[in-house]
């Protein structure tokens, strides 16, 4: 019986829900000086996953996170914002426009978040590029700058890939 009670309480003890409200409270409590070190790696990853998946309220959270994260987290946030473009270009573009107006230490605005990361295979990069491109085309004129950056970046990646092929001068 004692073991059954332990099993019943274990999920409660091991589960810690990261919510937008909890993150806002931590931002207020710890500020720029302590937020990055206070947030657990699991909670940070969950935050990035929620942003990447295109959840509007999580994407909007990037505006509050950008000024207080460290360099590594800023790079990860930029990548998450890129991946959020395909599932939710409109919310991401609104957030990027707000980030573009901020003057923060590790900038994560349109100029960086509309360029896909190079940490995936070429096949995966092309797949995500096409999904993102279609989403941006559907988003309307506010997507023009991001689409222009994405297209230019893809052309550069294609040119570099051609140079890497055997027999190319």
Q: Are 146 and 93 in contact (CB under 8 A)?
A: yes
Q: Report domain extents, the chain.
A: 39-164
Q: Are 73 and 79 in contact (CB under 8 A)?
A: no
52 φψ region: left (φ > 0), alpha (ψ -120 to 50), beta (else): alpha
pLDDT beyond 60 at 81: yes
Q: Are 113 and 66 in contact (CB under 8 A)?
A: no
pLDDT tier at 168, thresholds 50, 70, 90: low
Given this model, what pLDDT does residue 90 score?
Answer: 96
In this predicted model, what pLDDT tens digit does every residue of 31-74 receive, in sequence order? 877 888 888 999 999 999 999 999 999 999 999 999 888 889 99
Given this model, what pLDDT does residue 12 score?
Answer: 40
The structure tokens listed for 161 are 């890939």
pTM: 0.81
Three-state secondary structure string covering 82-122: HHHHCCCHHHHHHHHHHHHHCCCCCCCCHHHHCCCCCCCCH
Q: What is the rounded CA–CA span in Å between residue 158 and residue 122? A: 9
Looking at the chain, how many residues does it have?
Answer: 169
- For 69, counting Cβ atoms within 10 Å of its Cβ (0-12 exposed, 13-18 middle, 19+ buried), the class is buried
Q: Which of 97, 115, 26, 11 is nearest to 65 (CA)?
A: 26
């Amino acid at each position: 019986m004692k073991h059954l009670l332990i099993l019943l309480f274990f999920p409660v003890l091991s589960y810690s829900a990261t919510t937008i409200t909890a993150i806002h409270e931590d931002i207020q409590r710890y500020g720029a000086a302590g937020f990055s070190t206070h947030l657990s790696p699991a909670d940070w990853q969950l935050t990035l996953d929620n942003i990447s998946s295109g959840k509007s309220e999580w994407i909007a959270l990037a505006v509050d996170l950008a000024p207080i994260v460290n360099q590594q987290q800023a790079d990860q946030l930029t990548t998450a914002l890129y991946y959020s473009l395909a599932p939710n270009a409109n919310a991401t573009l609104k957030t990027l426009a707000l980030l573009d107006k901020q003057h923060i230490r590790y900038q994560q605005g349109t100029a960086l978040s509309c360029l896909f990361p190079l940490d995936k295979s070429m096949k995966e990069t092309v797949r995500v590029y096409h999904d993102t491109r279609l989403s941006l085309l559907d988003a309307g004129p506010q997507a023009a700058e991001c689409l222009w950056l994405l297209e230019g970046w893809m052309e550069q990646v294609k040119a570099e890939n051609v140079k890497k092929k055997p027999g190319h001068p």
